[in-house]
Chain A
Amino acid sequence: MTRPAPMVLTIVPVAALLAALQATTPPYAMLTGPIRTTGHQTETVLSTTFGVKVHRVLKAGTIAYTRFGRAVQLQTSGVWIVVSAELRAFQETMPVRAATLIGASGRSYRQSRRAGEAPGILSAKVVQPGLPTTGIFVFELPDDETLGMKLVLSEQYDPQLKDEIGVFLEDDGTASRDRLEIGKDGV
């Protein structure tokens, strides 16, 4: 017959240890989440599979472009943010379909599908290794969200164990204009 005192002294710390391990286990979503790289707009941000250099960040009330010879003008209740960038792939041919802007309040704004047929949209292109590809990402967000934005790029939305690049955008580079024309060679 074992004595109760040593038994209690063993069981309590073991239970506490197991509870601590359970409480601090990272969730599945975090374990299989993206592999993050972050950088600043002034530098080229590189991950293992792809890299990005953000050139310009433009703000406009209206964007305009030509599609199949027909003029398209898009208004918004907030403001359009057009980001021109250069993408590089390192290992294999890949698209960069997912682009999200994280606004000042921390809410995330996916790129606008309304402007999905504008010329030079990067998410519609495929990036070949060794061939830098330039183009634009178009977002739509409320005006007060446009301070301290972060651009997040990945091959697909909600990447799992894939690279995700975050770029902090500069505040003073975003001067607003009434109308922005998106031409064939970008903005």
Chain B
Amino acid sequence: MTRKMSRAWLTKLLAGAGGLLAAALSLGYSLYEQREADMIPQVEAATPVEAGRWKVSVSRSTIDAAMPNGARISPGKKAIVAEMMLENISAESSNLYGNLIKLANVHDASKPQYYLKRDRAILWDLHPRMPEAVTAVWEVPATLSLPTVLRLRIEGAIFKPRDNLYAAPGWFPSGSVAEVALPLKVGIEP
């Protein structure tokens, strides 16, 4: 009688301990995953970063008073200019680099305008296996106080051979890949 009771008690104890262990493991794993997702790898300036469709290495950033093609900036604005090497590592020509780089510590910046250094003109398509020196320009209000160190976040993309809507191939955002910190030098003062 007593032996049977102690066995039942032991079974209950084991089941309870197992459940608690499973809950603890699951909580620990989700905390770890959350922490991993928040940590974006920091890379040095001029380090090539592969972000799915693009390979980019940002070398320097300045505050400028003119566009890289010589055009004037809209009145009441100033330009944050980042210089980089950009290569299309996908299989087809593309001009979808608008979401590649985001300013992490400047608020309300719009999408940048890209310029091709070779032509001093607006950049259109980039062709596969043909890296080019390009500049990205963000126009921000002239009154906005800017940080001394600019943090650029490089956003990745993944290729899906069949998307969920049309079963068509396409590129989809996959979160931040890397972050580059660059000293923001003042170029030509207005």
Let me know if B159 is at the binding interface, CB within 8 A. Answer: no
Which residue of chain A is the closest to B132 with respect to CB atoms? Answer: A77
A78 touches B118 (CB 8 A): no
Which residue of chain A is the closest to B163 with respect to CB atoms? Answer: A29
Taking CB atoms, residues of chain B closer than 8 Å to A112 are 124-125, 127
Let me know if A65 is at the binding interface, CB within 8 A. Answer: no
Let me know if B175 is at the binding interface, CB within 8 A. Answer: no
Let me know if B47 is at the binding interface, CB within 8 A. Answer: no
Q: How many residues of A contact B (CB 8 A)?
A: 22
Name the distance in Å between B190's Cβ and chain A's nearest Cβ: 29
Given contacts A78-B130, A108-B91, A140-B130, contact A28 B116 (CB under 8 A): no
Let me know if A75 is at the binding interface, CB within 8 A. Answer: yes
Which residue of chain A is the closest to B124 with respect to CB atoms? Answer: A113
Name the distance in Å between A173's Cβ and chain B's nearest Cβ: 22
Given contacts A29-B168, A107-B92, A108-B93, contact A113 B132 (CB under 8 A): no
Taking CB atoms, residues of chain A closer than 8 Å to B119 are 74, 114
Which of A29, A106, A114 touches B91 (beta carbons < 8 Å)? A106
Taking CB atoms, residues of chain A closer than 8 Å to B168 are 27-29
Given contacts A29-B167, A77-B131, A116-B124, 11 further A-B contacts (CB under 8 A): A28-B167, A78-B130, A107-B128, A107-B129, A108-B91, A108-B92, A109-B93, A112-B124, A112-B125, A142-B129, A142-B130
> CB within 8 Å of B: which residues of A?
27-29, 74-78, 100, 106-110, 112-114, 116, 140-142, 145
